[in-house]
Amino acid sequence: MVLDASIPLPAYVPIKLSQDNLDLQEFDVASSSAWQDYMTTYLQKHHAKVAYGGYAEVRNIYKRSKHFNNLDVDTERNIHLGVDLWLDAGSEIFTPLDAEVHSFKNNQNFGDYGPTIILKHTIETVEFYTLYGHLSLESLVNLQIGQCFKAGDKIATLGDASVNGDYAPHLHFQIIRDIQNFYGDYPGVCSKNDLDKFLQNCPDPNLLLKL
């Protein structure tokens, strides 16, 4: 479980935000309010509460931010390494597995994660990590490194555009095999040149989400 278990599976609808989605040419993708309008309309159209997708998806939407943008097509960071789940700000987020807090940070670059939590999981002798980005500021209050959670425990709530990197509310969820020396942050978008390396270290989050 990552989102509220009271949201039934039929209320989830896939969405593609790849560069060939012509819908994205119909509004200003640099505007978080325009994104919110688009997502609201999309969910209503599909009678859904949550839109999800994006793993290994090539996106043009990051061009709005210097945090990602690069004139070289091979080194521009535009390939998404997690799954996004688009739903209301304030929605509760839960850990799918027993976990302890590895690190957390408010990543405040424009277009970045905003408040972010990274959890560490251990299954038998295997250690790996899950990252939760675009959270509320309140999610980081009183959080402690090493704090333990049981599977299904609430760990956070979603933030809005004022704190989440200027996006419509959504959760960026990512699995990471080796966290290396990162603390409260890990690349959620990579370049074409680095894709193989990152896909090996960041497997498809649907291994846990089961959507």
Q: Does the pTM exceed 0.85?
A: yes
Read off the tokens for 105. 């940070």
Residue 53: predicted pLDDT: 94
- In the block, which residue shows the tokens 């943008």? 69
What homologous superfamily is domain 9-209 in, according to CATH? Glucose Permease (Domain IIA) (2.70.70.10)
Gap between the Cα atoms of 76 and 193, Å rounded: 9
In the 8-state DSSP scheme, what is residue 39?
A: H
In the 8-state DSSP scheme, what is residue 58?
A: B
Buried b (16+ CB within 10 A) or exposed e, 154-190: ebbbbbbbebbbbbbbbbbbbbbeebeebebbbbbbb
- In the block, which residue shows the tokens 């119909």? 26
Residue 9: predicted pLDDT: 66
Residue 204: predicted pLDDT: 97
Beta carbons within 8 Å of 64's beta carbon, 6+ residues apart: 29, 30, 111
Cβ-contact 83, 194 below 8 angstroms:
no
Domain boundaries, given as residue ranges, for the chain: 9-209
Helices of type H across the chain: 32-45, 195-201, 206-209
Cβ-contact 132, 95 below 8 angstroms:
no
Residue 67: predicted pLDDT: 63
Cβ-contact 137, 163 below 8 angstroms:
yes
Enumerate residue ranges in the chain where pLDDT < 70: 1, 4-6, 9, 64-74
